[in-house]
Structure 1
Amino acid sequence: MTVSAEKGYLREIGNLVFHLSLLGLLVAVAVGKLFGYEGSIIVNAGGADSGAVTGFCSSSPASYDSFRPGLAVDGTDLSPFCVQVDGFTAQYSDTGQATAFLASIRYQTGQDVASGRWQSTSLAVNDPLGIDGQRLYLLGHGYSPTFSVRFPDGQVQRRTQPFQPQDSMFTSQGAVKFTDPPGYPADRITEHQLAITGIFAPTAVVHGGIMTSSYPAATDPGVAIDVYQGDLGMEDGASQSVFAIDQDQVSSGKLVRKARTNLAPHESTTLPDGTTVTFDGYVEWVSLQTSYDPAQGWALVFAVLLLVGLMVSLLIKRRRVWYRLRGDGLGHVSVQVGGLARTDQAGYGGEFERLAALAAPDTGPAPGGRRGGARAGGRAEERAVVPVVNESLAHLSDLAFECALAGYIVALVCFGIEFAAHRGGVPTEQEQRSAELRASRRSGGVAVLDRGAATPPAIGRVTDDRRGTAPMWLRFGRAGVVVTVVGFAAHLLSLVTRGLAAHRVPWGNMYEFSAMICAAAVAGFLFVLLRWRTRTVGFFVMIPVVILMYVAQSVLYAAAGTLVPALHSSWLVIHVLAVSLSSGVLMLSGVASVLYLLRSRYERKLAAEREWAEHHLHGVPDAALPDAAGTPGGPEALVTQRSRLAALPSLATLDRLAYRSAIVAFPVFTFAVIAGAMWANVAWGRYWGWDPKETCAFVTWVCYAAYLHARSTAGWRGTRAAWISVLGFVSMIFNLFVINLVVSGLHSYAGLN
């Protein structure tokens, strides 16, 4: 008689929910892109008396500077509303770091337009305004200088034009164009058109004849301008940038520079024909964006279900057990117990032993004077006063960071010495299989197939480590562990004091973000060391940690301070923390995958050498062959001089380390991507916009999803899966640093100038 049972069917339900939710999420995003739209416009804040445009009405795509409709949107059915920007306030720290942005606006919905009623409110970054199913976002700001021109006939024209910021101090560049000069015949107007190009500096400083800004607030504004007269080239219908003039017109001599000067507010310059150009002052402009996405609610629902399904499918283990009872007709019953773990997670071995023990309780003699027996064997944000940075804590944080870096460097050296001087090696996969086969032939019963339950030989230990006789290289390895723990404590102290000094979470710029990733990676290594004692991995884990922390200290360093307004959101705590932790653990997985490839190549080479030796030296007396020490040996002597890679953990250990690290980090990384999309919806009005960092994060997610699928697919385990993991690791590093520091995009919060 056979009885069987199985647990863990909920895993398959979670797997089904994950895939259906992923499909639903893609459909929701597609629907949003099909029927949604985005429009952006630059509006001057106040300054209506200067002729500046201080509002707009969303009645058609022509109302926007830029309009991005979905494929099913023709722009004829936009929900109408009007916005008037009455003022804008920006706050900055002493170092020029922006601390708060706030726009005072009035708006009308479609119903208010008919009655002429205006509603007043404030608009801040990460706090959009909902208007008739649409959302209005504050994205950025800058300065619009105002110029008045008195032409020779006495008539005056006035223009206020937004200039484009060029640096963090808001040194801005632009052009103001006067296309219809009065007092000239119609056929000669183009000969007397006027353009003012140059630099606006809110706090003007001149060095070597070049004007720049030393502070983003307008404490001492000034302009450095060139005044051109002639044909602007705008009559042929070709488009031109609003921030520059057509240089082809200048090169051809149709547009001639008449003056170059620096002006303070209310100062003037006079051209040869008597035209006077006056710098009247400035107003601030704000960049607004309107977003409409009819499927955003469904996208959120499917994203949550995707995460729930992923957690269920990864955490629940499927396992099976069966009992077979056989009688011999004499009253004796034999019970055979078998088990099968249907996932790669360990732990079923212990559970199976408990189930097997229940099959044969010690209750005394069975009928006939004999006991029954069971045989089993085998394996198995509000606006507020900006807090003052605590300089003492900030200095302590920097000092602790330097101590942590120094400790990790020492640990790297210690682990390196141990790895270089390691005696002996871990058995190869072929040797382990041979040993397991011999063991299985000596044992009886039904094997428990628990992939991952068995623990390979410990790494970083020697078999003859007697008390008081540990070799020096082994002591270096132990010292490396101690120094790593001390460095990790200093690392945590650095993060905590950094947060206390700045009165915020300590992951607001690339310096702090890098420190968080390294802390997560070191914490993961210490856990692995405690769990499996794979100490020789420490040398390879510490290499990227030391490099990254050194780069953070020397290149990415930013003094403790307040965050830019774009980061004043509770999503910073959730999104960036999840990215930091998952990235640190995935770094551990990536290192393990690289070592797996190196170890796999070494074992293939070793097997080829052994096969050659056995084939060509068959029959040669053992005494005629020198071994690794130069003394006579057998055919195996020619392959005993193993590479340093022999000290690496076994392929099974490295594969399990890479897989389990990815299993832990992938749900957190998935949550980080979802949280980032939700933050983007709050900040920019869309869940996804194919920003470079968003795109690279998606590529990384796909790589690790493919890796986890490959690990559960026959024929794709081993080297193939390891290469996919390495590809995901490279994509993650590229996304974390190259995208932030080199590629321009919306995620430019590195804290660097």
Structure 2
Amino acid sequence: MSDPRETQYDRLPEGRRAGELSFRELLRFGWRQITSMRTALVLLLLLALAAVPGSIVPQEGVDALATSRWREDHPKLAPVYDWLGLFDVYGSVWFSAIYLLLMISLVGCIVPRTLVYWRAMRAQPPRAPRNLARLPDATSYRTDESAEQVLARAREVLGRRHRVRAAEDGDGADRGAVSAERGYLREAGNLVFHLSVVVVLVGFAAGSLFGYKGGVIVVEGEPFGNTPQYYDDFVPGRLFSPDQLDPFSFTVDDFDLTWLTEGRAAGQARGFSADVRYRVEPGAEEEEYDLRVNHPLTIGNTDLFLIGHGYAPVITIRDGNGDLVYDGPTVFLPEDQTLRSFGVVKAASAEPQEIGLQGLLFPTFAMTEQGDPVNLFGQAVNPLLSLSVYAGDLGMDDGGAQSVYELDLRGLDQVEGEDGKPLRLDLRPGDTVELPDGLGTVAFEGLEEWQRIQISQTPGKFVALAGVVLALVGLLGSLFIRPRRVWVRAREDADGTLVEVAALDRSGGGDVAPVLADLVAQLRGEGPPETKRDETS
């Protein structure tokens, strides 16, 4: 027989101190903490906060050009952002860790609650309290009917929309009483809502692992084939295979822009669309589609989104020998909402020296009172192309990859004008300028428009959509289904039969007085056979 003075700390294993957890107990404690609802809510908040940098900082998988420009503008912050993974937030280790912990926490919350809910669904409603008059919503009346008649009617009335437990030979408090309960689906709504979060996370994970996202800038009339080399940026999922690419091709025939013509926003784009011709596969019949913002084109498992536009000035360069060394539209990238754009031209085959141009395109050029050049708005009303000229070695023969939107100035010298100052070409459509030192000529032939198209394959999008629908269904169920318990007790005495009726709203804040009055009316044979329609089961 154990000593009654012995405590639990006296029975600890040898070498174990009071309050010290064993490895198994530590694992159990950690599991309980991570699977608590409080932890799940904290992780969900952390996931939302972690997604904020992905909306602020340019992402490599969304716009590699904007990311590259951000790196150039912030040379000191860029290494820090790289170390933190802020240029690829959704693929970073810390974001994935929060994501996985949230999945584990939600599953750990849902499974035990589902088991408890399953047992509650199979259980009988609780016995009637000993004193129904003490409940907040209770009433009583007397009748000449027998107790058996009253209870039989109570079972009939409550059995239409409630789960009924009729006491036959229970204890003294429960004998002669009917217990009923409804609203079991409220907890099902809560479980469905939590399950929907898991479904949404699984859908996003499937899209990230098995899908891809890419972007391409196409000029009117320029064909595109769905192979990786055609993309300006291409970010595949970790489990994506190039064999999954749909073999389509497309060409943008025409680009339609609608401009605002009145008010302070005059000259700004109101809407734009692209007329696209595409083939689902080589040799297939050609089809047409009006590609607009928020109206993607779906080809097989791939979606095409129109997300941006800009200008591509048509530039012609002839070298000192009169040979054509550069010709065609050149994509200039917008720097602001007025579509003032920056671009680069490289004529690597020019003789006697290679020629490089870089500068700005002003769709609607104007000068301020201080003499500074500005662009008024995006519509090309008064276009001007302002370029600096460089000559020398473009470095394109070194074997390294170069961006078509950047000019490597290390092997180049800026060309000077007759006044000894750096040469600046200000060209309008149709202008041709001869370069000094016999370098050749540069002509600005006109403007064309380009469109930025995002192409993506997201296998889990319908799974995520199903999760969102489940969330709405679960939320509606948890908000509008009200769990209630009702008791009816009948006792005969010298004055007749005393009937006591009580109701309890388990969700709190519900007004059960009308329910109680309706039930009493039906028990007395005065009310309609159905309860009120707003009582959701």
- With the shorter chain as reference, the TM-score category is 0.5 to 0.7
Partner deviation per Cα, 1:304-333 (whole Å, 9 max, x = no partner) = 2321221011111111122344566x5665
Q: Distance in 2 between matches of 1:44 and 1:360?
A: 81
Q: Distance in 2 between matches of 1:228 and 1:254?
A: 6
Q: 1:256 aligns with which of 404, 408, 414?
A: 414
Hey, what does 2:341 align to over in structure 1?
Answer: 172
Residue 578 (structure 1) aligns with? none
| Map of 2:98 onto structure 1 | none
State the partner residue of 1:127: 295
Asked if the contact 2:489/2:499 (under 8 Å) is kept, the reply is yes
Cα deviation, residue 143, structure 1: 0.3
1:87 corresponding residue in structure 2? 254
Q: By how many angstroms is 1:62 displaced? A: 2.0
Q: Where does residue 318 of structure 1 map in the other structure?
A: 483
Q: CA deviation at 1:98?
A: 1.7
For structure 1, list consecutive stretches of 5 or more residues without a partner in the other structure: 47-53, 185-191, 363-753
Distance 1:87 1:157 in 2: 28
| Residues 211, 224 of structure 1: 8 Å contact kept | no
Secondary structure class of the residue paired with 1:68 = strand
Q: Which amino acid aligns with 2:437?
A: D
1:223, CA displacement in angstroms? 0.8
Does structure 1 conserve the Cα–Cα contact (< 8 Å) formed by 2:341 and 2:360? yes
Residue 336 of structure 1 deviates from its aligned partner by 4.5
TM-score by length of 2: 0.57
Q: Residue 18 of structure 1 is aligned with which of 170, 189, 193?
A: 193
Match of 2:306 in 1: 138
Q: Any conservation in 2 of the 1:176–1:197 contact (CA below 8 Å)?
A: yes
Structure number with bigger Rg: 2
Deviation at 1:263, TM superposition (A): 1.1
CA distance in 2, matches of 1:361, 1:139: 67
1:200 corresponding residue in structure 2: 361
Matches within 5 A, 1:572-591: none
Output the CA distance in 1 between the equivalents of 2:256 and 2:185: 54
Once the two structures are superposed, what CA deviation does each residue of 1:668-703 show, in whole Å capped at 9, x if it has no partner?
A: xxxxxxxxxxxxxxxxxxxxxxxxxxxxxxxxxxxx
Partner amino acid for 1:202?
P
Separation (CA, whole Å) in 2 of partners of 1:109 and 1:360: 72
Amino acid at match of 2:251: Q
Name the CA shift for 1:354/1:85 in 2 (closer, same or farther; >3 Å).
closer
Answer yes or no: is the 8 Å Cα contact 2:268–2:377 preserved in 1: no
Q: For structure 2, which runs of at least 5 residues remain unmatched after alignment?
A: 1-174, 417-422, 527-537
Q: Which moved more, 1:265-274 or 1:37-46?
A: 265-274
Matches within 5 A, 1:568-647: none
Q: 1:210 to 1:263 in 2, by over 3 A?
A: farther
**If each structure's strand is expressed as a fraction of its own residues, which one has the higher value?**
2
Encode CA deviations 1:451-486: one digit per residue, 9 max, x unaligned: xxxxxxxxxxxxxxxxxxxxxxxxxxxxxxxxxxxx
Secondary structure at the counterpart of residue 269 of structure 1? strand
3-state SS in 1 of match to 2:242: coil
Cα displacement (A) at 1:130: 2.2
Return the letter of the residue paired with 2:390: Y
What residue in structure 1 maps to residue 239 of structure 2? 72
Confirm or deny that 1:274 pairs with 2:442. no
Percent sequence identity over aligned pairs? 39
What amino acid does structure 2 have at the position aligned with 1:119?
E
1:103: which partner in 2? 274
Aligned counterparts of 2:495 and 2:389: Cα–Cα separation in 1:
113
Is 1:30 paired with 2:210? no
* Letter of the structure 2 residue corresponding to residue 36 of structure 1: G
CA-based RMSD of the aligned residues comes to: 2.8
Matched with 1:221 is 383
Q: Distance in 2 between matches of 1:41 and 1:198?
A: 22
**1:245 is matched with which residue: 384, 407, 427?**
407
Equivalent pairs counted in the alignment come to 338
CA distance, structure 1, for counterparts of residue 360 and residue 496 of structure 2: 100
2:25 maps to what in 1?
none
Q: Does 2:510 match 1:346?
A: yes
Amino acid of the residue matched to residue 280 of structure 2? T
Measure how far apart 1:358 and its partner are. Answer: 7.1
1:254-308 superposed Cα distances (whole Å, 9 cap, x missing partner): 4324421311122233333212222222211111122222333333233223212
Task: Please give the alpha-carbon distance, in whole angstroms, between the structure 2 residues aligned to 1:120 and 1:333.
Answer: 81
Measured against aligned partners, the alpha-carbon deviations of 1:575-602 in whole angstroms (never above 9, x if no partner) come to: xxxxxxxxxxxxxxxxxxxxxxxxxxxx
Q: 1:232·1:255 contact (CA, 8 Å) conserved in 2? A: no
Partner of 1:657: none
Aligned counterpart, 1:603: none
Structure 2 residue identity aligned to 1:18: F
Q: Distance in 1 between matches of 2:315 and 2:194?
A: 60
- Deviation at residue 7 of structure 1 after TM alignment: 1.8
- Aligned equivalents of 1:198, 1:255: Cα separation in 2: 15
Rounded Cα–Cα distance in structure 2 between residues aligned with 1:63 and 1:88 = 20
Alignment of 1:645-724 (within 5 A): none
Give CA-to-partner distance per residue, 1:512-565, whole Å, 9 cap, x none.
xxxxxxxxxxxxxxxxxxxxxxxxxxxxxxxxxxxxxxxxxxxxxxxxxxxxxx
Determine the C-alpha separation between the residues in 2 that align with 1:347 and 1:255.
84
The equivalent position to 1:291 in structure 2, one of 444, 456, 465, is 456
How far did 1:168 drift? Answer: 2.6
Structure ranking higher on relative contact order (CA contacts 8 Å, 6+ apart): 2
